[in-house]
Amino acid sequence: MDRNAPVGVFDSGIGGLTVAREIMRQTPEERIVYFGDTARVPYGSKSQDTIVRYSRQIIRFLRTKGVKAIVIACNTASAYALEIVAKESDIPIIGVVNAGARAAVSATRNGKIGVIGTEATVRSGVYTKVMQEMRPDIEVTGKACPLFVPLVEEGLWHDSVTDEMASRYLTPLKGRYIDTLVMGCTHYPLLRSTLRRLLGDEVTLVNPAYETAIELKELLKAHGLNRNPEDPLEGEKYQFYVSDLAEKFTDFATSILPDEVKETQKINIEEY
């Protein structure tokens, strides 16, 4: 495998850009091919069979771009598809769940951890399973927050409607005396300031996007796949593809990524 090949990153839509942003920060020498499945978002309300089928299609597309590793930057797809597709692949594939779970277990002081995510992620119980494998006495409380994704995608990060919904979602978690909260959807770090204000400084917020970027950095180094920054750059450093709404994606990506996104290409993912 060519160590100068790009890393593939995919999500159900725009939320995975928070993972791409952290990868850009932690491994600025790496090239990235990002795919956002904007035509079929959200994944959180879909069945496991559907999510696995979507993930296989996207992986086949990313393989046409010669990627050396793939990051599933979607908690729902990580929960339902990662184990299956990783066994089918001859290149490393990682998700956002394991890294986030490890960070939460390390951070908690009283053993009470909250997880917020899509309905599918919370229903899967994947964070509970992974964290309790690491530390059996951990008490995990999951809370689905289905309206957070559309609120983020509409750009309502600092809006009274978002504040109201966040207050409703977080109240049950505060009643369980959690001291650590996993932002178990890649959209949610964009609501970090709202969550911090409502929960207070005594609750540690865990961002799986950051933890996953660190895991990727270590993985590439361990496999001898980390790109040499002194090698000449072939082609665009960052490439972006979506299944719909390319212009809207470009505007959003430019607003949160370090560099301006000049172009997003729309593809028919059903062909893969």
Q: Cis omega before residue 92 (within 30°)?
A: no
Distance in angstroms (rounded) separating the CA atoms of residues 190 and 89: 31
Given 5, 71, 185, 191, which residue is catalytic? 185
What pairs with residue 265 in β-bridges?
A: 241
12 annotated binding-site participant: yes
Confirm whether 145 is a catalytic residue.
no
DSSP type of residue 42: -
Q: Label the pairing between strands 139-144 and 204-206.
A: unpaired
Distance in angstroms (rounded) separating the CA atoms of residues 163 and 166: 5
Spatial contact of 177 and 211, defined as CB atoms under 8 Å apart: no
75 annotated binding-site participant: yes
11 annotated binding-site participant: yes
CA-only gyration radius of the chain, Å: 18
47 annotated binding-site participant: no
43 annotated binding-site participant: yes
Given 74, 81, 144, 213, which residue is catalytic? 74
Distance in angstroms (rounded) separating the CA atoms of residues 192 and 171: 16
For residue 4, what are the CA distances in angstroms to 57, 220, 234? 24, 11, 9
Confirm whether 74 is a catalytic residue.
yes
Distance in angstroms (rounded) separating the CA atoms of residues 77 and 75: 6
Distance in angstroms (rounded) separating the CA atoms of residues 214 and 220: 10
Largest Cα–Cα separation, the chain: 54
194 annotated binding-site participant: no
Spatial contact of 73 and 48, defined as CB atoms under 8 Å apart: no
Catalytic residues, which ones?
A: 74, 185
Binding-site residue set for substrate = 11-12, 43-44, 75-76, 186-187
Binding-site residue set = 11-12, 43-44, 75-76, 186-187
